[in-house]
Amino acid sequence: MLGIGGLNKKWQWGICGKHPVVKDYFKIGNFMPALDALENWMQKGYGEVSKRSGHDAGICSWRFWARGIKKKELIAGIVKDSYDTIGRPFPLLVLGNGVLEEWERNWECLPVFFEKLWESLEYLTTRRLNGLHDLENAIISIKSPENNPERFGEIKDTLNRISPEPADESNAQQTPGALLKEQMAIISMDEKGGPAYSFRAGKWSSLSKTYAEEAPKTVFIGGTEKKHYLALFRRPINTEDFIRLWSP
């Protein structure tokens, strides 16, 4: 285990799981409660998923953000199917945590706000590197999200210009009931990816906020190549939630 917590003055970054350039399970990032908690969630969840027949390794990928421990703190990262140098499957978790001003009032904008960050983390998971040392250097060099609340206004203007489809409205109206009853909701999105994908997730978040304004504890965006979802959780995530996300 290697410690890099605190090297980045703005955000701390960590990674754990399996990566194609590393021989076995590894972890970079000490003194990061968020990394420790989500690592434990991933290990328990994937342990259950791997016991089930019919699971296809290498198909699930999720972007996420979550509330931090303190006010204004936020966690953002990705968790996806991966494997080590000899092809043994296991997910890879990459995340950062730090301060982002005014995010609580503008949480529907986060799918767009974090688009470039998520893309850089996804690139890191497939990038050609020369072993663990190179991977550690890549983690240290991750740029912190720009702490600029004015961007939220720009994103909102764009989201407001996107006309929701009837299916969007229908799904969004079902969200409050699911959040009230189960403290979670998983909304099916279309199969389109690309740059519009983040705005699509932002629009769905905006519609959901209309009926349930308070920011969720954790939000996941992703799924498989053909099936995309927006998953909102108002309670702490558990092992069963990992199984849900890995069984889209």
Output the CA torsion 27→32→34→38 (10° steps). Answer: 20
Domain coordinates in residue numbering, the chain: 12-144+151-245
State the average pLDDT over residues 208-216.
85
pLDDT of residue 56: 62
Predicted TM-score of the model (pTM): 0.89
Strand pairing report for 92-99 and 61-67: unpaired
97 dihedral zone (left: phi>0; alpha: psi -120 to 50; beta): beta
User: Residue 1: is its pLDDT beyond 60?
Assistant: no
Nearest of 124, 111, 221 to residue 156 by alpha carbon: 111
| Residues 122-167 pLDDT 10s | 999 888 888 899 999 999 999 999 888 899 999 999 998 887 665 5
**The domain over range 12-144+151-245 is classified in CATH as 3.40.1730.10:** yes
Percentage of the residues of the chain whose pLDDT score is greater than 70: 84
Q: At what angle do helices 150-160 and 196-211 cross, to 10 degrees?
A: 90
Pairwise CA distance, residues 71 & 49, whole Å: 34
| Residues 39-96 pLDDT 10s | 999 999 999 998 876 666 458 999 999 999 898 999 999 999 999 999 999 999 999 9
- Type of residue numbered 4: I
